[in-house]
A and B are shown apart, each in its own frame.
Chain A
Amino acid sequence: MSVIYLLISISIVVAVAFFIAFLIAVRSGQYDDDYTPSVRMLFDDELKITPKKEIQTTEEKHN
């Protein structure tokens, strides 16, 4: 069997794998909103914990 059959089958399998990945991505709704994720990825995971300054507030007390 010629090597060309093997190579082409491999390339088709790879292509099909990517195609399936695409289908899964569409199904999970990744193409519904194409803007928000681009902003979301720039947020830091950790919050900056600002050292608690003495905030002169009266309303805070009853929390």
Chain B
Amino acid sequence: MDTQNCFHCGLDVIKAEEIIFDEKSFCCNGCKTVYEIFSVNDLTCYYDFEKSPGATPLDIKGKYDFLENESIVSKLLDFQEATTAVVSLSIPHIHCSSCIWILENLQRLQEGISTSQVNFPEKKVRITYDPQSVSLSKIVYLLSSIGYEPYISLENYETGKKNVDRSLTYKLGVAFFCFGNIMLLSFPEYFDVNEYWLDTYKPFFRWLIFAMSLPSFLYSASDYYVSAYKSIRSKMLNIDIPIALGIIVMFVRSTVDIVFDYGSGFFDSLTGLIFFMLLGKMFQIKTYSFLSFERDFKSYFPIAITRINSDATEESVPVYDIQKGDRLLIRNQELIPVDGILISEKAAIDYSFVTGEAVPITKNSGDKVFAGGKQIGKVIEMEVLHSVSQSYLTQLWSNDVFQKSVVQRHKSITDTISRYFTPVLLFIAFAAFGYWIFVDTTTAFNVFTAILIVACPCALALTAPFTMGNVLRIVGKQKFYLKNALVIEQLAKVDTIVFDKTGTITTNKKAKISYEGKSLSSENLTSIKTVLRASNHPLSRMLYDFLPEMKSVAITDFEEITGKGIRAKIHGMEVVIGSAAFAGSPDENAVLQTAVHIAINEQYFGKYVFNNQYREGLESLFKSLKGTYQIKVLSGDNEGEKSSLETLLPAGTELIFDQKPEQKLEFIKQLQEQGRNVMMVGDGLNDAGALAQSNVGISISENVNVFSPACDGILEANEFQKLHYFLKLSKKAMTTIRMSFGLSLLYNVVGLSFAITGHLQPLVAAIIMPLSTITIVSFVTIMSNFYAKKLR
């Protein structure tokens, strides 16, 4: 048996805290309890599929009490009847086959659940249960108790049932069906076996082919007609115009051909073309369904909060019902949904969602507390000043940037090319028609249609989807998730990069700790560490982890005063750890620092200073970026770290401090007005405005499953130093696209030379078209993979 790692969650087991149960070692009671639940219910198979798959269940007592409220529950359910209810819960911890197994066996743990089904890519579980024998809150508590805490936020409250759009799958299916069958039926025409056979069955085959092509022509290709029509109306020539034109001309000419018995028509090429182009579309829309790129504050805010009524009773109310003047109860780890005034004496509020700053801020009674903070520690009470939509943070979302519908704001490279392509194509077609009309009228019409058919820019239209789709997958494998393929094009255009400071270029996981003051003996250190161990304050935890491992000693007296510090006695030695005033620090100008002060036996020793830890590889990243890009750093913080930042960043980097969310947005806007293409790299909700305004908004996230504001791409925090690589790759992707454009134009020229001279046979078209498609697709795939390898 492996004694180093916890059998349930796989974390290292600290020898002193090890719990041996059923011959297995666990790191904590929580993990042991989960194992116990599973073993009592014969569900230990859970541990067979994957080694240590679990998560430690967190203490969430009271957190989901709002699920007792019927009206809230009914908003969350997908389906509800007297004896059946269906709910879809999002569970971020789902990560392996064990998870699927245990979640699909929920009915063994809880009576009343009939089935549960996991959707792994979306990290969701869909549970069907009987509301008369089990309540939703009971299910949620059960899930939490086995380490699968669902993520329920205000977002779930508003969005009803989502309709999945499967039309592209249908269209692709129809297109393939038509394409395949028409190809088979065209074989006699290709090989021209013998005259008699063809003459006898020609009408039958041709009309059958015609019938087969109808669904593909009318249904599968319908998007292209709509898009072409729209682009003509808005007077922007996009690539869909020549495509739609090519398809329609091809269909009409082929129909004319078989009606007047001129030939077999181009139905095979037509349906093949539609199929390949839809395939390209499908390839491009690879999405990361477990990520959401459209998040606003609703994904962070709780659905309900505890209100204290005037008769001192507590009640769960939906956050939208909170009125000015209400009194709210905020528990440990609960998010404050509205602005208000603190009534309780002290509170430690963690604004890491908002600013990325991990160290909690202490508030006193009467202070204003802003929405978005998380209470750490004791239960607090507050009085509401503004309703949810009026709060300081949420007002950011009333800015115009968020009102814009998601219409394509930028012209894509394909559209730029097609602005020239379409007029040139039409010119050639009419010129050839004008020439042939004096020679032979029938040939003139043939040539005219042949040009439009052969020049139909399918290879051109496929280039961008396949290149970008492929690059999207390459970067996705390296934990850089992009909203869609068009973002790559924007990435390539970026010339200015704006970084947020806290949480983006600094990590909020570990702080750099240094000690200033009189030297501490090892005995002193031992007692400090022991005292810290008993405290739950985040700074205490960080300092505890920082101090070297040593034996613990017995504490005789321990007192933690919220907002001040800890006072404890060990072997008659009094240890005081806490704020400057509490420990009796002589220097008063330490306001800009985060520090923990130490006093032993009423004698001031010194302080541990917490500096922001910059992300690994930051310096080299900035150095390499500097040559190509303008770098700017925005921060919501004060100038406390200006000097240390300046040494780290290349000279000439603009540093701007004390920026409010709206100011960040304005800053980006100003840069754009100067004609710059701005990439914003941020993390917290306070960057949301800037991320939305920028040309490309990239959000840095420690945990991609849960926290990231609306953006164009999510980058996992430990891949941060690869940012320049991704930027370079996006540029290479554009180079690939340009090369491939050249190649496909070459095909068009070859095809056109057949067409202009009036020699375009259906067989030639049937060969040229798939051939060009296949070469283009393989060319761009090989090239983008090659660049991805070479640049690394």
* A residues adjacent to B (C-beta < 8 A): 2, 4-5, 8, 12, 15, 19, 22-23, 26-27, 29, 31-36, 39-40, 42-44, 47-50, 53, 55, 57, 59-60, 63
Contacts and interface: CB of A to CB of B under 8 A. Distances in A.
A22 B173 contact: yes
A17 B33 CA distance: 53
A50 B120 contact: no
A36 to B, nearest CB: 4
A50 B44 CA distance: 8
A29 to B, nearest CB: 7
Which 3 residue pairs of A and B lie closest in terms of their CB atoms, listed nearest first?
A: A36-B120, A33-B119, A39-B97
A12 B181 contact: yes
Given A26-B169, A50-B44, 4 more contacts: A27-B166, A35-B121, A60-B36, A63-B40
Interface string B104-136: 100010000000011111100000000000000
Contacts of B43: 47
19 contacts: A2-B201, A4-B204, A22-B177, A23-B170, A26-B166, A26-B170, A26-B173, A32-B119, A32-B166, A33-B122, A34-B121, A35-B120, A36-B120, A42-B97, A43-B101, A47-B43, A47-B108, A48-B44, A55-B36
B723 interface: no
B164 interface: yes
A47 B45 contact: yes
Given A22-B173, A26-B169, A59 B42 contact: no
Nearest to A55: B22
Nearest to A16: B177
Contacts of A32: 119, 164, 166
A5 B204 contact: yes
Contact residue range for chain B? 35 or more
B164 A23 contact: no
A36 B123 CA distance: 10
B100 interface: yes
B323 interface: no
A59 B36 contact: yes
Interface in B177-195: 177, 180-181, 185
Nearest to A18: B177
Interface string B180-223: 11000100000000000000110010001000000000000000
Given A29-B164, A33-B122, A36-B118, A15 B169 contact: no
B104 A40 contact: yes
B121 A31 contact: no
Contacts of A26: 166, 169-170, 173
Contacts of A8: 185, 204, 208
B166 A31 contact: yes
B762 to A, nearest CB: 20
Nearest to A53: B22
Contact of B42 (A15, A43, A49): A49
B120 to A, nearest CB: 4
B638 interface: no
Contacts of A15: 177, 180-181
Contacts of A2: 200-201
Contacts of B200: 2
Given A22-B173, A33-B121, A4 B201 contact: yes
Contacts of A27: 166
B39 interface: yes
Contacts of A44: 45
Interface string B153-171: 0000000000010100110
Interface in B7-29: 21-22
A48 to B, nearest CB: 6
A60 B208 CA distance: 72
A50 B173 contact: no
Nearest to A60: B40
B118 A23 contact: no
Contacts of A42: 97
A1 B686 CA distance: 77
A37 to B, nearest CB: 9
Nearest to A38: B120
A1 B44 CA distance: 67
Contacts of A19: 173-174, 177
Which residue, B21, B97, B185, has most C-beta atoms of chain A within 10 A? B97
Nearest to B212: A12
Contacts of B122: 33
Contacts of A43: 101, 104
A34 B97 CA distance: 14
Nearest to B94: A36
Contacts of B174: 19
A24 B52 CA distance: 39
